[in-house]
Structure 1
Amino acid sequence: MTATSVLDDAPLSGFHKRLALYSSGGPFLDGYVLSIVGIALVQLGPQMHLSDTAQGLIGASALIGIFCGAFLGGYLTDKFGRQVLYTIDLVAIIGCSVAQFWAGDPVWLFVLRLLIGMAVGADYPIATSLLAEFTPRRYRGPLLGGLMVMWFVGAATAYVVGEALLTVGDNGWRWMLASPALPAAIIVLLRLGTPESPRWLAKKGRVDEANAVMRKVFGDRASISDLPEEERENAGLVLLWRSGYLGRMLFVSAFWTCSIVPLFAVYAFGPRILGALHLNGQLANIGSALITVFFVVGCVLAMVVINRMGRRALIIHSFLWSGLALLLLGLVPSAPAAVIITLFAAYAVLIGGAQNLQWIYPNELFPTEVRGTAVGLASSLSRIGAAIGTYLVPLALTSWGIGTTMLTAAAITLLGAVISMRWAPETRGLALHESAALTDPATTGA
């Protein structure tokens, strides 16, 4: 084993699998939190006499929180470490989720969901940076992509739990919004004892601690001398403004936005959107859960083919064909229920590639010093569009109708295909320091 391959070419161990599982807690909670509100609003809206504007704000509040929390979490994890913040953010989710049970007005509910979104957003750069910096190159794409699978598992779980809690009476929505506290508590317990990233420790001059982690994870003979040298730059936010990294940041933020605006709108108002497509009542909730299963299938398929197909080809095809499925939904909004579900299922499966690459590209395209900051900033910027889109969904359904609303979603998705054709790089098979280096010829994009 060469000096530079101890980490990047290591076999997949039990430690890597456990770390991937623990890191998936944030995406699971994200999908759960953003989806459960869609069902809760079915009961909550009439009880509190919420207008379309109020429903849009409550639906988008967690996204606004993610905008603030992701960048802050990224900056803090680059400054203070990945492991320190790895559980703190989930403790905040537990407290705010429980507090939602006693929310007595929409303003208080908006504030609590804003805080939950901040904690969820902070977990993105923390968990993904830690996983990327420990994972061998061969498994980095599938394991990071697997985090997105857990987003949809969380969303599917939310629909099942929400449907069950609708039967408990008028307070069902309170139990729904408090329910994320339980999985968050389980994830906190699982994460205890996770080691710090040796790459980050080495960058901070904490050599003895870095060597201890290397020996613990990779064997008694491993040390930081086995870590590859990264391209040295001016550390900090200034690095992100250099021409090459600024281009990468714009690409990641743009494609991430195009991939989540339609998706988050569907998850925040899934039952209402399907209702507008003539799938009403329990059928709308069941349809939402079924579509979520297809989202999981799409992400799993993307995990399987990503190393064979490559990052660039996968993201282009994902955007293109899923956009066409949404286009057909917009053109035939009065089609039979079977056709509507089939087209939604096609969108869900085909968008899996773009969804997986939300976690892979930003972690591969930036160096250790600013990896967390870059992931957090890209996530924050993408949430601006997602929050606006989610807020506008109930207004669009009322003013434009379902057909035009779905055509707008198709246009955003197809824009993602155009952006990817122009700027998506290929990072398949590269070590982390190679994919993050501006001078490496294998990264041909931004």
Structure 2
Amino acid sequence: MTTTLERARPSRTHWLITMYAGGGEFCDGYILSIIGVALPLITGTFRLDAAGAGLIGSASLIGMFFGGLVFGRVTDRVGRQKVYLFDIAAFIILSVLQLFADAPWQLVVLRLLMGVAIGADFAIAGTIASEFAPQKSRGPLLVVMVTMWSVGAAVAYIVGWAMLSAGPDAWRWMLASSAIPAALILFLRMGTPESPRWLLSRGRVDEARAVVEQMLGPGADLSDIEADTGAVGRYSDMFRKPYLRRTVFVCVFWACQLLPIYAISTYEPTILHSFGLATGDAAYLGAVVIQIFYVLGSLSGALFVNRGRRKLLLWSFAISALPLLGLAALDTPSAIIVVALFVVFGIASFASQCLQAIYPSELFPTGIRATANGFATGISRIGAALGTFGAPILLGYSTRLAMLVGAVIVAVGWLVSYWLAPETSGKTLSESSR
């Protein structure tokens, strides 16, 4: 019996494509977290107020809105591979330019443009990984891809903590250091084949067959992916039946997940300090420890993702709201309780992070899959940008209030998911996107 792409066992090629796609997630986690370490130094250098610091911290998220919105559509029109390489190349250049910034507005502009490049990568990375992944392995493979965000965040805190002793201008090297992982990712991505699903959608059957045969062997059967290459391909189709409900669901649940996560990740040392947990360098070290638990939480999604996408999302929202409520309710919690609550929040919320890549890829057909991924990326980053911009203002007023606001946002995510979240586990891409 001839093997098909949906029924194949995950091979070395599947894993490599997944890991290379996860490089964009790594960069996202690295960028957002390294600014959390660098921002206090930047604030001191330029004497910024809370609003100025928040603008620099959220600039890349605002850029991701435009990058996802524009380049998701571009990816569906010109192909996955071209955007896949271009955005990371732009990211390397912009990372290095941060080294020479001598005014706050320059940092805002550079991080805005970096966000555009990362937003473009988000639109394509989940799309290309899901289009190559077999049906039974799609969930676990994308769990690994999304976990790279948490790995990037943890590495950023370690790198930033190690650079703190370099003096008040250490922030320049911290921000520029993101060029190093980006260059490695660009090198590894070279040679990644074009998605056979996209090639089929453009009538390039021979090229699609060649890609699949390279992965699965001669005489590969394309029947199970041909069903996923309909003519749907206009931007406006996302806002018509049957896709409007899916578009609303993906955008809202993604935004509600990211807003508290990005706010906490960006200002974690400040938050820990406000709870009296640590001061100075020790606060950054505490953030590293918590980020490690976030990685474990993200990986735990592999245990549950094939048991039900909807169930995983609902339980994740429900459990992650509880520690935020606890942090808001407790007046003077001990260090152990603070760390324990952040660990519970991280494990619970990160366990369902994989669904940010899985749901947009499974709910939309090839003609608008990257467009939908890009649109959801953009809208979700509005929420993340609001959280990152507003967090220092809220934290300046009351840390407990900031935790309460985070819990309310998580609760909204649960309600919307309960109302709109479909179950797509156990289905091929063509079945789940109908």
When normalised by structure 2's length, the TM-score is 0.97
> What is the letter of the counterpart of residue 411 of structure 1?
V
Q: Which residue of 2 aligns with 1:292?
A: 291
Q: Which residue of 1 aligns with 2:8?
A: 10
Q: Which residue of 2 aligns with 1:417?
A: 414
Q: Measure, in 1, the Cα distance between the counterparts of 2:331 and 2:247.
A: 36
Q: Which residue of 2 aligns with 1:172?
A: 170
1:291 Cα deviation from its structure 2 partner = 1.1
Q: Measure, in 2, the Cα distance between the counterparts of 1:210 and 1:178.
A: 39
> What is the letter of the counterpart of residue 58 of structure 1?
I
Equivalent residue runs for 1:299-338 within 5 Å: 299-307=298-306, 309-338=307-336
Identify the match of residue 95 of structure 1 among 93, 96, 106: 93
User: Any conservation in 1 of the 2:201–2:229 contact (CA below 8 Å)?
Assistant: no
Q: Measure, in 2, the Cα distance between the counterparts of 1:300 and 1:354.
A: 9
1:226 Cα deviation from its structure 2 partner = 5.4
> What is the letter of the counterpart of residue 429 of structure 1?
G
Q: Measure, in 1, the Cα distance between the counterparts of 2:408 and 2:160.
A: 31
* CA separation of 1:420 and 1:163: change in aligned 2, threshold 3 A: same
Q: Measure, in 2, the Cα distance between the counterparts of 1:29 and 1:230.
A: 30
1:354 Cα deviation from its structure 2 partner = 2.8
Mean Cα deviation higher: 154-163 or 291-300? 291-300
* 1:84 match: secondary structure: helix
Q: Measure, in 2, the Cα distance between the counterparts of 1:126 and 1:369.
A: 13
Q: Which residue of 2 aligns with 1:442?
A: none
**Are residues 1:240 and 2:212 paired?**
no
Q: Which residue of 2 aligns with 1:192?
A: 190
1:267 Cα deviation from its structure 2 partner = 1.4
Equivalent residue runs for 1:219-238 within 5 Å: 219-225=217-223, 227-230=225-228, 232-238=230-236
Q: Which residue of 2 aligns with 1:429?
A: 426
Number of matched residues?
Answer: 433
Question: Alignment RMSD, CA only?
Answer: 1.3
* 1:427 match: secondary structure: coil
1:205 Cα deviation from its structure 2 partner = 1.3
Q: Measure, in 2, the Cα distance between the counterparts of 1:239 and 1:123.
A: 22
**Are residues 1:404 and 2:401 paired?**
yes
User: Any conservation in 2 of the 1:38–1:267 contact (CA below 8 Å)?
Assistant: yes
* 1:227 match: secondary structure: helix
1:264 Cα deviation from its structure 2 partner = 0.4
User: Any conservation in 2 of the 1:333–1:402 contact (CA below 8 Å)?
Assistant: no
* 2:242 match: secondary structure: helix
Q: Which residue of 1 aligns with 2:362?
A: 364
When normalised by structure 1's length, the TM-score is 0.95
* CA separation of 1:164 and 1:73: change in aligned 2, threshold 3 A: same
Q: Measure, in 2, the Cα distance between the counterparts of 1:153 and 1:356.
A: 14
Q: Measure, in 2, the Cα distance between the counterparts of 1:284 and 1:336.
A: 15
CA deviations over 1:164-193 (Å, ceiling 9, x no partner): 111112221000000000010011110111
Q: Measure, in 1, the Cα distance between the counterparts of 2:384 and 2:239.
A: 24
User: Any conservation in 1 of the 2:66–2:116 contact (CA below 8 Å)?
Assistant: yes
1:225 Cα deviation from its structure 2 partner = 4.5
1:207 Cα deviation from its structure 2 partner = 1.9
Q: Which residue of 2 aligns with 1:122?
A: 120
CA deviations over 1:232-289 (Å, ceiling 9, x no partner): 4542113212222011000000000110000000111111111111122222111111
User: Any conservation in 1 of the 2:229–2:366 contact (CA below 8 Å)?
Assistant: no
Q: Which runs of 4+ in 1 moved over 6 A?
A: none
* 1:194 match: secondary structure: coil
Q: Measure, in 2, the Cα distance between the counterparts of 1:21 and 1:333.
A: 43
Q: Measure, in 1, the Cα distance between the counterparts of 2:242 and 2:310.
A: 18
User: Any conservation in 2 of the 1:198–1:213 contact (CA below 8 Å)?
Assistant: yes
Q: Measure, in 1, the Cα distance between the counterparts of 2:246 and 2:231.
A: 16
Q: Measure, in 2, the Cα distance between the counterparts of 1:39 and 1:146.
A: 26
Identify the match of residue 182 of structure 1 among 173, 180, 183: 180
User: Any conservation in 2 of the 1:101–1:175 contact (CA below 8 Å)?
Assistant: yes
Q: Which residue of 2 aligns with 1:354?
A: 352
User: Any conservation in 2 of the 1:277–1:333 contact (CA below 8 Å)?
Assistant: no
CA deviations over 1:106-151 (Å, ceiling 9, x no partner): 0000000001111111001211111111110011011112222100
Q: Measure, in 2, the Cα distance between the counterparts of 1:351 and 1:74.
A: 26
Q: Measure, in 2, the Cα distance between the counterparts of 1:390 and 1:429.
A: 36
> What is the letter of the counterpart of residue 435 of structure 1?
S
1:42 Cα deviation from its structure 2 partner = 1.7
Structure 2, unaligned stretches of length 5 or more?
none
Q: Measure, in 2, the Cα distance between the counterparts of 1:376 and 1:406.
A: 29
> What is the letter of the counterpart of residue 296 of structure 1?
V
Q: Which residue of 2 aligns with 1:390?
A: 388
CA deviations over 1:64-109 (Å, ceiling 9, x no partner): 0111111222111100000111111111111000000010010000
> Percent identity, aligned pairs only?
44
Q: Which residue of 1 aligns with 2:138?
A: 140
Q: Measure, in 2, the Cα distance between the counterparts of 1:231 and 1:94.
A: 34
Structure 1, unaligned stretches of length 5 or more?
438-446
Q: Measure, in 1, the Cα distance between the counterparts of 2:256 and 2:224.
A: 39
Mean Cα deviation higher: 166-175 or 248-257? 166-175
Q: Which residue of 1 aligns with 2:280?
A: 281
User: Any conservation in 2 of the 1:202–1:224 contact (CA below 8 Å)?
Assistant: no
User: Any conservation in 1 of the 2:262–2:388 contact (CA below 8 Å)?
Assistant: yes
* 1:9 match: secondary structure: coil
1:214 Cα deviation from its structure 2 partner = 1.7
* 1:414 match: secondary structure: helix
CA deviations over 1:4-33 (Å, ceiling 9, x no partner): x60101011110011111111000000000
1:299 Cα deviation from its structure 2 partner = 0.9
